[in-house]
């Protein structure tokens, strides 16, 4: 009988027999018959990752159980799209997904929404996993999510275009320079979890007010507002952009391709942070045991080697080098000769001193809505206002008035907690309790709708007034 399992994740091959023996991948307790199982995964990971982890897990599962497993990867969009789909499904009582694989901080959002279930890894795997990397937690203290890999955030830039402006690219604030008008890459934070995280890093690295001013001028300088984080390195490589935010993984892939020698990538010194790219099991997963098996595999040495080793190295990826960080420190020493180019050991970096996960979590839902009103909905008006200010000599008073945050940090954090946070409806809630919670969710949705309109209108009015004044 065919069984269905839903997951969100990636792909590869290696060390299947050893993994089966060490991790007990036959733990599902099913007989090794000719039947098959289906694993359905939601993930923003690129096809190369999905293919490598698919092949490797299938081989390990077959070696352990004698059974075939099929893994599906439905197109669920980026992290924000996945989160919205899952919240909608759970409100409708649909439980057809087992795992979320990738999406950065989406796991913490899912946890806050009550959509995850805990699973403690076997002691031998947990003992090998540090609690933090560069100050960032590597797993949830309640074991509701684990960091499968980590991501560094920086700026990718086109060397020729930057040199033509006589500027060196070193920090986030460079995106706000008037010299880069029309040459900056920006993406809608509501469409990309990694971009939202980069914008949050900017807010915390410079302080909320200055960071928000930088983000507004980044949007004003943007050639356009994209929909996915992979667009910026591609456009930089083609010479359409001078610089833009980029995760290290996308930068390394772009720089390894044709024309990559014309690109540079920098992690702004003392102004950036690493992000934990997670894997987690959903509450009420239809096939919990198989989901746990997949999670064990991803966090095992065999799964971790797929991230960090070069294509063709023993235990590494088969089709393509993934060039991402492993979360097992010993692999950086044991397999140093086989590591993908450019992978330094992140566990040797000092922890950042400015980043607060609590701040990020509080405004994770509200920040993309605010930024969309600021630089997506009103992109044309913002760009015209900034262009007029530049033409007027960019007087400091006018720049300050243009970029003044519409919402204070205190107000945004409060809105994040009291309006934009999802209302959790426990499985055991009574009919009366569910009705009250649904009513509260409806109230919050109305408030969010009002704020979207209010912010969009306020920014539009400001931009039009500033453009008129500057001219």
Residue 12: pLDDT over 50? no
**Integer angstrom CA distances of residue 252 from 55, 137, 256, 277, 346:** 23, 24, 6, 17, 16
Q: Where are the beta strands (DSSP E) in 215-374?
A: 222-226, 243-247, 263-266, 274-282
- Any idea what DSSP says for residue 35? -
Say if CB 69 and CB 39 are below 8 A apart. yes
In words, the CATH class of domain 3-149+276-346 is: alpha beta
Tens of pLDDT, residue by residue over 320-361, are: 999 999 999 999 999 999 999 878 899 998 888 899 988 998
Sign of the torsion formed by the C-alpha atoms of 324, 327, 333 and 335: negative
Tens of pLDDT, residue by residue over 37-59, are: 888 889 989 899 999 999 999 99
Q: How many C-beta atoms lie closer than 10 Å to residue 160's C-beta?
A: 11
Mean pLDDT (whole number) for 254-270: 91
Where are the chain's structural domains?
A: 3-149+276-346, 151-273+356-409
Mean pLDDT (whole number) for 57-77: 92
Query: Across the chain, what does the average pLDDT equal?
Result: 90
| pLDDT at residue 356, as a whole number | 92
Options 3.30.70.100, 3.40.30.10, 3.40.190.10, 2.60.40.10; CATH of 151-273+356-409: 3.40.190.10
Fold match flag (3-149+276-346 vs 151-273+356-409): yes
Strands 146-158 and 136-137: unpaired
Mean pLDDT (whole number) for 433-460: 96
Tens of pLDDT, residue by residue over 356-383, are: 988 998 999 999 999 999 999 999 999 9
Residue-by-residue DSSP string for 38-74: EEEEE----HHHHHHHHHHHHHHHHHHHS-EEEEE--
Of 204, 253, 219, 236, nearest to 363 (Cα)?
204
């Amino acid at each position: 009988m065919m069984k269905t399992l839903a997951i969100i994740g990636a792909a590869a091959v290696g060390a299947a027999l050893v993994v089966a023996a060490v991790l007990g991948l036959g733990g599902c307790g099913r007989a090794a018959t000719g039947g098959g199982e289906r694993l359905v995964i939601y993930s923003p990971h690129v096809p190369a990752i999905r293919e490598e982890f698919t092949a490797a897990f299938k081989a390990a599962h077959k070696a352990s159980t004698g059974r075939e497993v099929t893994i599906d990867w439905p197109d669920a969009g980026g992290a924000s799209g996945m989160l919205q789909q899952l919240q909608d499904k759970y409100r409708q009582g649909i439980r057809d997904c087992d795992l979320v694989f990738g999406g950065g901080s989406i796991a913490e959002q899912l946890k806050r929404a009550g959509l995850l279930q805990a699973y403690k890894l076997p002691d031998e795997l947990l003992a090998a996993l540090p609690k933090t990397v560069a100050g960032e937690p590597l797993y949830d203290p309640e074991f509701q999510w684990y960091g499968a890999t980590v991501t560094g955030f920086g700026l990718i830039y086109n060397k020729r275009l930057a040199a033509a402006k006589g500027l060196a690219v070193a920090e986030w604030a460079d995106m706000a320079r008037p010299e880069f008008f029309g040459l900056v890459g920006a993406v809608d934070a509501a469409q990309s979890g990694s971009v939202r995280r980069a914008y949050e890093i900017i807010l915390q690295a410079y302080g909320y007010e200055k960071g928000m001013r930088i983000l507004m001028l980044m949007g004003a300088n943007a050639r356009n507002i994209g929909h996915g984080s992979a667009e910026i390195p591609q456009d930089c490589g083609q010479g359409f952009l001078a610089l833009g935010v980029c995760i290290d993984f996308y930068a390394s892939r772009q720089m390894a391709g044709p024309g990559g020698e014309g690109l540079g990538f920098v992690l702004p010194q003392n102004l950036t942070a690493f992000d934990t790219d997670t894997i987690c099991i959903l509450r009420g997963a239809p096939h919990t045991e198989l989901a746990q098996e997949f999670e064990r595999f991803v966090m095992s040495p065999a799964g971790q080697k797929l991230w960090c080793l070069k294509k063709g190295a023993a235990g590494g990826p088969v089709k393509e080098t993934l060039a991402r960080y492993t979360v097992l420190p010993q692999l950086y020493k044991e397999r140093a000769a086989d590591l993908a180019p450019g992978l330094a050991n992140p566990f040797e970096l000092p922890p950042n001193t400015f980043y607060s996960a609590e701040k990020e979590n509080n405004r994770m839902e509200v920040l993309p809505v605010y930024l969309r009103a600021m630089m997506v909905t009103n992109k044309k008006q913002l760009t015209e206002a900034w262009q007029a200010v530049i033409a007027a000599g960019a007087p400091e008073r006018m720049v300050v008035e243009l970029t003044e945050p519409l919402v204070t940090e205190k107000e945004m954090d409060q809105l994040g907690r009291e309006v934009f946070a999802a209302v959790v409806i426990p499985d055991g809630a009574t009919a009366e309790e569910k009705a009250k919670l649904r009513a509260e969710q409806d109230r919050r949705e109305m408030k969010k709708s009002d704020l979207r309109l209010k912010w969009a209108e306020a920014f539009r009015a400001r931009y039009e007034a500033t453009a008129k004044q500057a001219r």
